[in-house]
Amino acid sequence: MLLLNLYLVASLLFFSGNFVCGKRKELISSNPDFTVDWEITDETSRNATVTFNLTVKTTGFVGFGISKNGGMGGADIVIGGVLPNGTVYFSDRHAPSNGFPPEDISHDWILHSATENMTHTHLHISRLLDTCDQDDVAITKDTFRFIWSVGSDDNIAYHGVNNRGSFAVNILGLPYPDIDLSTFSTFDAVTNLTMPSKDTTYWCTVHKAPVFSGKQHAVAFGPVLFGPVSEKHSHHISLYSCTPPNGEDPEEFFNKYIVQGGIDCLNPNPGEISAYRYCTKLIYTWTIGGRIMHMPDGVGFPIGEETHMYYLMESHFDNPEQLVDVSFQSGVRIYYTPELRSIEAGVMRTGQMYDYNLVVPPSSKDYVVVGHCSSNCTAQWIPTEGVNIFNIMLHSHSYGTKMKLRQFRDGAEEPWVLNDDNYDNDYQDNRNIPLVKFLPGDQMAIECHYDNSMLSPPTGVLGGFGTRREMCEAVYYYYPKVGLENCRSSILKENIRNFFGISVRELNDALTNPIITAPEHLAGLSFLDYVDSIVWNDVTRGELERLMRFSLHTEQCDNCYAYYTHLHSLSFRVKKETDMSQNKVPKGYEFLTSLMRNGTFYDYDGLVAYVTGAIKNLLRTSNLTSDFDQLHRLACIIVVRRYGEQLYNGINKVITDHLQASVRQTIRRRIDKDDFLETILLAWTAHKVAVNTIVEMCMNMDNIYVKPNKLVGLRTMGFALFKREIILCRKKIRPHISKCLSESIFPPEDGKRTCGPSLHVVKGLLNLIDELEEVDPSSDEKVYENVFEKHLLLRCAELYQVAVKSFTDDKASSMSYAEWAETRISQDLNHVTQYLRREGREGTLAKLENVMVEKLVERRIMDIFEPANLEKFHFLKNNRVEELGWMLALVGRYSGGESYMKDWISAYLSKGDDPSKYAHGAYIYGPSGVQNLLSMKDRLDKFALDLFSRGQLMGDNVIPDDVQVVIIQNKLYPELLPKYMRDRVERSEGLELSQEEWASFLFRTKNLFELVQKVLDDQFLEHLKKGATHHQASKYRKHEIAVKIQRMFKDVVDRDRLMDDFRHYCAEQANFPKMDLTFCVLTAEVWPIPCPVDTSVFPTYLMDEFQKFERFYIGKHGGRKLTLIPFLGTAELEIKLFPGGLEQGVSSSMISTRKTIQVGTMAMCVLLLFNENDELTWQEIRDLIKISETTLFNLFSGENNILVKSPSMEKISITDTFRINEWYGSKHDRLKTD
């Protein structure tokens, strides 16, 4: 039996009696009753999607969200579940605050499935990583927090304190490999601790590893935390390998530390000894939120190279409540194997060293600290082929908000190695990353952002080991292993002390908080207390931040130290300690020394001259001969010491002199050369770079001197000077710029231009003009308008004046004037747009078009409509569509064109066309009259569409009065419309149209009806004026047929609203249609439609859907009755056919194809019979379905012969058989038949 796969999409009319795809996947659970796993697909495309599976122990609602900070505020949230009756509910929401989250305007989450059993609810949902919705959270490689809530039932209300939670995740982080670690040996280093009752404890214990037979390879490291108490108080744990002093036996030397049982790493008691100094090689660090870290395939971390291995474990515990007698165990576990892998891994740290030189002033919101690994260090340690970084842990403490690891090579920045703009101190995981090549000479910089503005009272933060101190470092694992383990830096202590003007006595190797010894009035005060006592502002914070980032640093390169300066190019200038001892000084130091007395400057005029001299050299050579940081510090001193006016005026004079004496003369020498504009651009680029450097050098001047004195800033001043001295220079430069720009856009007819710049040069100069305009918008001198736009408009007017005369004189031209003018305007506007394609320049294009229209259209309007050599209304009478198109498009540019066009068509309708052809009854009366009127309307609409580009002529009321004249003259009454529509229906012409075509026909007829109704309204008023009775006149205004037609249109318009209500009804009843159905209810009294056939001809499943709709409709409109009208319905069926026929021996399944056909409802019923039957006779079909021969005839005759009749005669008899046409060969995928 041949199986037809038929899918119904029926339109039935009724009437009434009134990231690498799939690789990123992991399981996270902060609550055993709420688990989440997710997967990223298409991660490198704009359609990158994340799919979540939520499994929750509840039969109530489930809330899930993505948050940047772990709270509801700003979170992207979904709420969903399954009602007891099986109905699924789901909504996309956002949380502006901690209140109930409102629904999003744009629903970007997709629910794929929702199921519920006796205990759990499962949701399968997805969304794009970046939905471009302001109410959603864009998912990046930063740390995010999953927030969740559950309800005991499906009433979405407050979840309660105990039914919510959050946990931090790196959604886009590379997954950890799925490895069975039970096959490897393990070694645990565990501390048994009774935690001291203080805020922070660093506890050091020494642990002996098993005695190995030889070197082993660690394949993974992980934490060992015993219970919630251990998890709560453990901040991080670091494991170091230990090496005894030369000549000492490891076992004998370190056993005494094991017996000791552990000490406070930073503050040992008297008599306690620390092994800290002998255990410096970092093996592994675990921090809050971290999980097991795996080595890549084929890579192992070497351990057990010595006979007796000892490890020091440094455990950082937090006890902010200072609890007493809290005991727990914690530690780390090493997974290892004796089967050595081919590659060995190492570990390295980069960052700011742990000392008080890391200073974050009080109330800092986004304070940046940078630690470096210099090119000098990596050049010594990293082999020529480089190493590969595969795992990184970013580490900071409580006040860290953002972290970024940056890499530089040959003075240029490489892509960021790792960044996290939502850094979470409670989630510091060892993150697997795509391999990063680290070459000798590369530089690494770890950038940390801090926020301590929430502290009350305002308190500063120093670097150090405590949780309330700060760190800034990155720990990264790489292969192959080299000897380098520490590549870090710290600002020189002398620079910090000089900045604060103090001397200190350090405690505990400067790792905590030193005591001030001088000046005398601060003696005995701790450094942090002094920092807190200072009245800080944005200027002083910025000064300290800049000092810490860019001044001289001390570097730790493994166990060696050096000094270097961090420059803007992020290169490093290294000085060996021996060089420093030789007291070498930078260039210019002797001059500065002459301006000082006892270390204090007294000749500030000399300082101003020194700084402005450096700026003069910068302008001249584009290079600074003096140290930038030194100049920045001197400029700050000058401004703070109230010499800002001298420096400001000095900079103004230096820039002015340079522009007048050097730049202006260089540009003048290029006048009349092709590179004139390009020379200006090059000068502007160099000037802008120099000005920006000056602004950065004097960054404090604007706040301290410029703003209080209500002056323009240095950048504005520098750009305004270029505008005044160069662009607006009236001696040759300015007029030549105007001429060169206008002739570049509108070249002379003879091709001889003043200069010949390229497109990008002209656009560059226009951008320069825009930039100068934005610098000082209040200036009376409008550069864009006076230098460019005004001259461009004059140039355009001159060219068009000449062009019109040339066309008029050219008698041999084969083009009409309208075609020539419209083509010229369009081409010129497109050409100019290439130069002016930028926001804000639309006004210039509009002005240019006005000039063109004024020259070519407004002054020659009669030549367009009525050329002297043609008869009146020539274009309309002869239907010259092409010429009309040019003419109408051209007139449409003119503001008076619409009025002129209306008058012209009105004159044609009333005088130019032949009224007699509308006077004969055969043309007007009967249904064909309406069709003829519609044809005339379409013809006029085409003209109006070309001219006004705004839809139907009659619907937009452009020239309705003239069409009304035709209607009134020929006595066209409303009866013609229903006659015409009845004629269409009775002749079954409607079935030849698709649903869209039928709707279009109704719309056009409706427009015409509204026009006729307006005519009747006017006639009604006219009759009243003539004294006719109201009853006599009402037959025009309140004609019964007119009312019916209005109701017919209302039925069609109400269809979409009715279907929306039905879909909502099905959703409420959880009883959705099994097929895509559209219903339209027609009012019986107004539609001229014959009685429908018995509904028993329809299949049961179709009648079930009709009865479902009937229950909905009767419930909404009681007392009505619905009856099916099958001959007006249509259906779309998907059918499996075999185009080209079946060759012998070839499987039909191998060459089959699917096609979509559109048929009437009764034809659909016929075709559905062949899902169960290979062949049927006409008698059998008629018994099963009451259809006409016409319906069956249309299925086997004509082009779309879906059925095959046997015998093949055209006439149908009772015994004729029918089957599916297996040799059907249409080339179209979508077919339409009756």
- Check the CA dihedral 1210-1214-1217-1218 and report its sign: positive
Tell me, yes or no, if the pTM score tops 0.75: no
Residue 405 inside a domain? The answer is: yes
pLDDT band (50, 70, 90) for residue 1022: low
- Residue found by looking up tokens 């000077």 in the block: 721
CATH number of domain containing 131: 2.60.40.1210
Cβ proximity of 551 and 628 under 8 Å? no
Q: Between vectors from CA 853 to CA 848 and to CA 856, what angle results, nearest 5°? A: 125
Q: How many domains does the chain have?
A: 6
Q: What is the pLDDT of residue 751?
A: 63
Residue 439 inside a domain? The answer is: yes
Q: What is the pLDDT of residue 6?
A: 34
What is the per-residue pLDDT across 960-998, written as a single tens digit (0 to 9) for each? 555 555 555 554 445 555 555 555 555 444 445 555 555
Judge whether residue 221 has pLDDT over 90. Answer: yes
User: Which has more confidence, 551 or 912?
Assistant: 551
Euclidean distance between CA atoms 889 and 1009, whole angstroms: 30
Residue 61 inside a domain? The answer is: yes
CATH number of domain containing 692: 1.20.1310.10
Mean pLDDT along residues 325-350: 92
Token digits for 878? 């002869």
633 and 567 inside one domain:
no
Residue 18 inside a domain? The answer is: no
Residue 730 inside a domain? The answer is: yes
pLDDT band (50, 70, 90) for residue 632: confident
Q: What is the pLDDT of residue 1150?
A: 45
Q: What is the pLDDT of residue 341?
A: 94
User: Which has more confidence, 10 or 943?
Assistant: 943
The chain-wide mean pLDDT, for the chain, equals 75
Q: What is the pLDDT of residue 1181?
A: 82
What Cα–Cα distance (Å) separates residue 511 from each residue in 372, 466, 617? 19, 10, 44
Among 126-135, 511-520, 767-776, 852-861, where is mean pLDDT lowest? 852-861
Q: What is the pLDDT of residue 66?
A: 92
Judge whether residue 367 has pLDDT over 70. Answer: yes
254 and 301 inside one domain:
yes
Q: What is the pLDDT of residue 1045?
A: 65
CATH number of domain containing 575: 2.60.120.230
Amino acid at 37: D
Based on its alpha-carbon atoms, the radius of gyration of the chain, rounded to whole angstroms, reads: 43
Amino acid at 285: T
Q: What is the pLDDT of residue 1005?
A: 64
155 and 212 inside one domain:
no
Judge whether residue 1143 has pLDDT over 50. Answer: no
Q: What is the pLDDT of residue 133?
A: 82
| E strand residue ranges, 242-360 | 263-264, 281-287, 293-294, 299-303, 310-318, 326-337, 343-344, 346-352, 359-360
pLDDT band (50, 70, 90) for residue 247: low
917 and 1034 inside one domain:
yes
256 and 198 inside one domain:
yes
285 and 367 inside one domain:
no
Report helix, strand or coil for 1075. Answer: coil
Among 999-1013, 1112-1126, 1142-1156, where is mean pLDDT lowest? 1142-1156
Instruction: Give the closest residue to 2 by CA, choosing from 1207, 1229, 1137.
Output: 1137
Q: Percent helix, strand and coil across the chain, each rounded to 5?
A: 40, 25, 35
Among 321-335, 500-514, 541-555, where is mean pLDDT lowest? 500-514
Mean pLDDT along residues 332-337: 94
What is the per-residue pLDDT across 573-627, written as a single tens digit (0 to 9) for each? 322 222 322 333 334 444 554 554 444 455 678 888 888 988 988 888 877 766 7
150 and 110 inside one domain:
yes
735 and 650 inside one domain:
yes
CATH number of domain containing 276: 2.60.120.310
Euclidean distance between CA atoms 789 and 1057, whole angstroms: 53
Q: What is the pLDDT of residue 83?
A: 94
Among 415-424, 480-489, 727-736, 901-910, where is mean pLDDT lowest? 901-910
- Residue found by looking up tokens 């639309």 in the block: 842
Task: Please spell the DSSP secondary structure of 365-376, one letter per residue.
Answer: SSEEEEEEE-HH
User: Which has more confidence, 1113 or 1227?
Assistant: 1113
576 and 606 inside one domain:
no
Residue 416 inside a domain? The answer is: yes
Q: What is the pLDDT of residue 160?
A: 61
**Which of 581, 611, 642 is the endpoint of a domain?**
581
pLDDT band (50, 70, 90) for residue 855: confident
β-pair partners for 217: 302, 337
Q: What is the pLDDT of residue 868?
A: 57
Highest mean pLDDT among 201-205, 631-635, 1194-1198: 201-205
Q: What is the pLDDT of residue 1152?
A: 61
- Residue found by looking up tokens 């079954």 in the block: 988
Judge whether residue 1115 has pLDDT over 50. Answer: yes
1162 and 1195 inside one domain:
yes
- Phi and psi angles of residue 981, each rounded to the nearest 5 degrees, phi first: -70, -40
What is the per-residue pLDDT across 772-786, written as a single tens digit (0 to 9) for each? 877 766 566 777 777
1093: containing domain: 1055-1232
Among 553-557, 772-776, 1168-1172, where is mean pLDDT lowest? 772-776
Instruction: Give the closest residue to 312 by CA, choosing from 278, 336, 288.
Output: 278
What is the per-residue pLDDT across 35-89, written as a single tens digit (0 to 9) for each? 888 888 876 667 789 999 999 999 999 999 999 877 888 899 999 999 999 999 9
Cβ proximity of 473 and 382 under 8 Å? no
Among 159-168, 677-686, 884-893, 962-971, where is mean pLDDT lowest? 962-971
- Phi and psi angles of residue 864, each rounded to the nearest 5 degrees, phi first: -75, -50
Cβ proximity of 370 and 445 under 8 Å? yes
Residue 1185 inside a domain? The answer is: yes
Judge whether residue 478 has pLDDT over 90. Answer: yes
User: Which has more confidence, 827 or 889?
Assistant: 827
Half-sphere exposure of 1022 (CA within 13 A, CB side): 8
CATH number of domain containing 1080: 3.30.230.130
- Phi and psi angles of residue 435, each rounded to the nearest 5 degrees, phi first: -55, 135
Judge whether residue 437 has pLDDT over 70. Answer: yes
363 and 473 inside one domain:
yes
**Which of 804, 827, 844 is the endpoint of a domain?**
804
Residue 702 inside a domain? The answer is: yes
Q: Give percent of the chain with pLDDT exceeding 90.
A: 15
335 and 353 inside one domain:
no
What is the per-residue pLDDT across 87-128, written as a single tens digit (0 to 9) for each? 999 999 998 887 788 999 888 999 999 999 999 999 999 999
What is the per-residue pLDDT across 991-1014, written as a single tens digit (0 to 9) for each? 455 555 556 666 666 666 665 655
**Which of 977, 1007, 1038 is the endpoint of a domain?**
1038
